[in-house]
Structure 1
Amino acid sequence: MLSGTLIKDTFSGRELLIYLPPSYQTGAKRYPVLYVHDRGDLFDPAYSGSLSAIEKLCSNHELPELLLVGVAAENRESEYTPFSEPHLIKPGQTYGGKGALYAAFLAHELKAYIDRSYRTDPRRESTGMIGKSFGGLISIYTAYLASETFGKIGSLSGSFWFPGMTEFMRVQTFENANLRIYMDVGSTEGTDRSNLQKEMIPRTKKAFRILTESAASREDLKFVIEEGGVHRFERFAKRFPEAVKWLFGSCHNNAQNDRSF
């Protein structure tokens, strides 16, 4: 049973799933905030046990209590993609490429609503974003557009095979390079594909390598390859609590980066 509280909210027509930690109801403390794409399915108890794992980390003082804000997408393949590109498996269709509009919505509209509606710590170093697959892709993309707003970024098996993403990263700079970034990928992801998704692992490694050259401190970057990991929700959800711990926890010396790239 959860100790904290899950509530449903809406903003600008979008469903929000918000987790309030146990102490939220009894004091005046302000809390860090982690925005989670896909309506927060990574922490929704209907889909996984990751929220119980996060509460355990908090009760063990390995992670500070924080708010989790799940944000529903209006059109996932449009909002979570940075550029308009031909669809891999739907002939004649395209990925919408409205990532910049979505990033601006998160940084300038949704965050303002959450900060005025809940007791948040609004500072960038207390504000993060995380997602899986396309949600991981858009998290890293948003870091380039809104690094003055989001200081912690998580990408679980981000879709870095997406055309043009690593090329975009190569020529961009962060407005504020003092970022804490977590990335991971499963060791078998893309190995069964014949399309661009077969580039999942090499392009993810390339993306991380670019980050090591552009972020302020390599000590604030973490890259994990899950041995045997596949591109499945249950894998993302299993890794989610440790990703949150590394981004927000006081212990910054967890697993070492995989440097074999």
Structure 2
Amino acid sequence: MRAITKVATGVALLLGAVQAWAEKAPQVSAGQLEQLQGVTFKSVQPRTVEVWLPDNVDGKKLAVLYMHDGQMLFDATTSWNGQEWRVDEVAQQLIDNGTTIPFMVVGVHNAGEHRRAEYFPQQAFDGLDEHGQQAFFEFQKQSGVPVRQPYSDDYLKFLVEELKPYIDRHYPVHTGPEYTFLMGSSMGGLISMYGLTQYPEVFGGAACLSTHWPGIHDLNNNPIPEAFRDYLEHKLPEANSRKLYFDYGDQTLDALYPPLQQAVDKVMAAQGWSSPQWQTRFFPGTNHSENAWADRLAIPLTFLLGRAELQGEE
């Protein structure tokens, strides 16, 4: 039976009107989930933030993993497609068997129809010519969402200047970059990469699953992947000073990714990145779905939070 979700009441990250969100609270089968609902932020529009806390870690400080697309992490009955990452089950097992240090997960819900604009790396977009920017706008239009220029710098500002300070004040966590990480998939992979490169002094690593290097859904005459590689060439942290994980499959939307990820890997190698601080993994036969990411979730979690890599957590 799934444990009852604990809903934190009367909590706002900043002063302001609290807006109610009529969302069904997800249930977890391991650990405890606190849902901070209707909070008001300065940098981005209000959305739900969920904090997952593991069992059996009394008295221990926790590392913190910030995950995007928080709607999809814990409970398939509350997600739009009936799938979930199974974060609570996988994370609790890794902590219990000593594979990883104790950690908590902060799941930030996406912005719905503005998700692509919020997660698209803004400085890479600014580096595109008019043709490239128009391709992104046209993709939004064809997808039936409002046309909006990327504002991912504001989203990262929210994570770093508003949400993280709140988490650091209210939970028993390690606050340094060596214990603070990002993870996401698809567009969430892009914003995880972007967060690490923009704030290496805050985040010690990022895991980017099925990273959506095309930016749109078409590779023909598409300058966006090259813009991302050019951004990385100029903005990657010093080689091996942080942890960076990529992976990809080759089915459904992931079918677009193999040559693009391989091109990114060349940039990483040219910049001097190597194992164990950088890892790219290919999962042939896997598709672009929460089920696929859940099946391999233990791998990036261990990469970022493995006990062998992090010491002094007690």
Structure 1 and Structure 2 fold alike (TM over 0.5): yes
Q: Any idea what SS the aligned residue of 2:270 has? A: helix
Q: More strand by proportion, 1 or 2?
A: 1
Q: Match for residue 56 of structure 2?
A: 23
Deviation digits for residues 30-60 of structure 1 (CA, Å, limit 9, x no counterpart): 2100000011623446443342122112111
Aligned AA for 1:212? A
Q: Any idea what SS the aligned residue of 1:86 has? A: helix
Which segment is superposed worse, 232-241 or 114-123? 232-241
Distance 1:16 1:191, change over 3 A: closer
Asked whether the equivalents of residues 50 and 241 of structure 1 are also in contact (C-alpha less than 8 Å), the reply is: no
Asked whether the equivalents of residues 239 and 271 of structure 2 are also in contact (C-alpha less than 8 Å), the reply is: no
Correspondence for 1:147 among 193, 196, 200: 200
Deviation digits for residues 79-118 of structure 1 (CA, Å, limit 9, x no counterpart): 1012253343634964631112211221222111111111
Distance of 2:199 and 2:168 partners within structure 1: 16
Aligned AA for 2:89? S
Aligned AA for 1:19? W
Distance 1:99 1:174, change over 3 A: same
Q: Match for residue 152 of structure 2?
A: 99
Distance of 1:18 and 1:7 partners within structure 2: 5
Asked whether the equivalents of residues 37 and 135 of structure 1 are also in contact (C-alpha less than 8 Å), the reply is: yes
Q: Match for residue 221 of structure 1?
A: 278
Asked whether the equivalents of residues 160 and 166 of structure 1 are also in contact (C-alpha less than 8 Å), the reply is: no
Distance of 2:106 and 2:267 partners within structure 1: 29
Aligned AA for 1:207? V
Distance of 2:280 and 2:186 partners within structure 1: 15
1:188-199 alignment, distance < 5 Å = 188=251, 190=253, 198=256
For the pair 1:73 / 2:110, whether they are aligned, the reply is yes
Q: Match for residue 7 of structure 2?
A: none
Q: Any idea what SS the aligned residue of 2:163 has? A: helix
Distance 1:161 1:110, change over 3 A: same
Q: Match for residue 157 of structure 1?
A: 210
Q: Match for residue 6 of structure 1?
A: 33
Which segment is superposed worse, 112-121 or 43-52? 43-52
Deviation digits for residues 3-38 of structure 1 (CA, Å, limit 9, x no counterpart): 4111101442321111111135x42x2210000001
Q: Any idea what SS the aligned residue of 1:161 has? A: coil
Aligned AA for 1:36? M
For the pair 1:42 / 2:69, whether they are aligned, the reply is no
Asked whether the equivalents of residues 45 and 51 of structure 1 are also in contact (C-alpha less than 8 Å), the reply is: no
Which segment is superposed worse, 54-63 or 164-173? 164-173
Q: Match for residue 206 of structure 1?
A: 263
Distance of 1:141 and 1:86 partners within structure 2: 20
- Tell me the number of residue pairs that the alignment of Structure 1 and Structure 2 aligns: 244
For the pair 1:63 / 2:100, whether they are aligned, the reply is yes
**Seq. identity, %:** 27
Q: Any idea what SS the aligned residue of 2:56 has? A: helix
Normalised to the residue count of structure 1, the TM-score between the two structures is 0.83
Q: Any idea what SS the aligned residue of 2:276 has? A: helix
Correspondence for 1:238 among 295, 308, 312: 295
Q: Any idea what SS the aligned residue of 1:184 has? A: strand
Residue 186 of structure 1 and its aligned partner are, at CA, apart by 0.2
Residue 70 of structure 1 and its aligned partner are, at CA, apart by 0.1
Q: Considering only CA atoms, is the larger Rg found in Structure 1 or Structure 2?
A: 2
Asked whether the equivalents of residues 179 and 215 of structure 1 are also in contact (C-alpha less than 8 Å), the reply is: no
CA RMSD of aligned residues (A): 2.5
Which segment is superposed worse, 141-150 or 159-168? 159-168
Which ranges in structure 1 are unaligned for 5 or more consecutive residues? 193-197, 253-261
Distance of 1:159 and 1:238 partners within structure 2: 19
Distance of 1:231 and 1:34 partners within structure 2: 22
Asked whether the equivalents of residues 189 and 201 of structure 1 are also in contact (C-alpha less than 8 Å), the reply is: no
Residue 180 of structure 1 and its aligned partner are, at CA, apart by 0.8
Aligned AA for 1:247? L
